[in-house]
Amino acid sequence: MTGRIRGQGNPWVAVRPGEDIDVLARRMTTAHRSFVEDRSPSDSVRSVVLDSWLRSRTQGVDPDGGDDSVVLSGAELDRYRDGHPMSIIRPVIRKLLVEDAADTGLLVAISDAEGRLLWVEGDSAAKDRASSMNFAEGVDWSEESKGTNAPGTALAVDHCVQIFAAEHFSRSVHEWSCSAAPVHHPTSGQILGAIDITGGPRVAVPEVLSLIRATVAAAESELRVHLMNSPKSLGDTAPRLEVLGSGKPGVVRSSGRVSLSQRHAEILLLLADHPEGLSSDHLAVLLDEHELDSVTIRAEMSRLRKAFGSAGLASRPYRLVGELNSDVGDIRRALDRGDVEAALRIYTGPVLPGSSAPGIEEIREELRSRVQAALLRVGDPVLLAQWTSSIHGRADVIAWEAYRATLSRDSALYGQVNARIDLLDRQLGV
């Protein structure tokens, strides 16, 4: 052991040159136990891991919980994988990583952008052992589902990352280590999925992270060539739901934009927010506080399949098959990575402002509150000025007060902002 403080150096690397793996493993186990049982963070934990632990806890992941992940299997999984852009680069990944993984104890996994594992290949014995923690094709390994893990965390932070042993949030994964990196669309920069190597402690050394990054570079180069020859081939797999502002909601595909009724937009957004799926009863409660009967729900879902496409929807429970991007998701991801300016740029208005569905009202308020909180935390006068001059922020007294705090009392602008706050106080009866 070199004595180097864990907070120094490259935060994305788990095991640094000269570190004793056994000592590090014991330290991480102790730190994990302290965090989970005593809710006490440790200075010995890398910042990227601690941030992920905090997100995992906030998202309600149980470090000792059973596995209730949504599994896509059989014909549904085959159809989804065949149409996914990650299938285009699978031959490159197999050549660079999988072909040499037999009898090494290593697994190579390819996920979609939501963390669902599309392919898991490599050492057969390791694959069998990994099945005990449900590290298998079709299973959701996003950070929201499994907590801290390399493919899920790489997607959450949009960066290559290594997770070593007890750095995993779930205790069932502590005997494993992994290295992963996201793969991006060659022109839009949108995340398409992730490439992961999972195995023993040696997977967490810097050389493996370099190998993953080189493989991603080769894969993205292959996508670029493929896109030049087939310009539309990467555009049909990820429809985009637009629900912000007063315009008519719709789904955008490479073939164009299809307008949606408010009810259909509500259902798609609720399904996107509940990847585990929704029963007809649960969906009814989220759509109408007085509840809808199951016959009405089935009729709406039947009409939605005609508008959205039957291949993108499954039933029992109702759930999305494949990716569905959205402007709501774009804002959440921007806030997760601390890019408040981007979030504000995307936030063109409230979520489905005409909707009174309880589930939508909750999403609407959650998003507005997150944007407001991020603005207050950053305290940037330019961004606060943008927010308070917008239709969704012009009555936000808290934001106006934060904006005033950034101004000089001698400036004319301070007086204008102060007058606006006084007016809002009178109007709101404060």
Torsion of CA 269, 275, 276, 279, to 10 degrees: 20
Helix (H) or strand (E) holding 325: strand 325-326
Residue 3 — very low, low, confident or very high, per pLDDT cuts 50/70/90?
A: very low
The proportion of the chain whose per-residue pLDDT surpasses 90, expressed as a percent, equals 55
In terms of C-beta density within 10 A (0-12 exposed, 13-18 middle, 19 or more buried), how is residue 310 classed?
exposed
Q: The whole model's pTM is what?
A: 0.57
Identify the structural domains of the chain with CATH numbers, from first to last: 1-236 (3.30.450.40), 239-362 (1.10.10.10), 379-430 (no CATH)
Write out pLDDT tens, residues 273-314.
999 999 999 999 999 977 778 888 888 998 898 888 877 898
* b/e code 375-404 from CB counts within 10 Å (16+ = b): bbeeebeebbbbbbeeebbeebeebbbbbb
pLDDT of residue 350: 92
Residue 393 — very low, low, confident or very high, per pLDDT cuts 50/70/90?
A: confident
270: which 2 tokens? 């609720």
85: which 2 tokens? 């852009």
Helix (H) or strand (E) holding 142: none
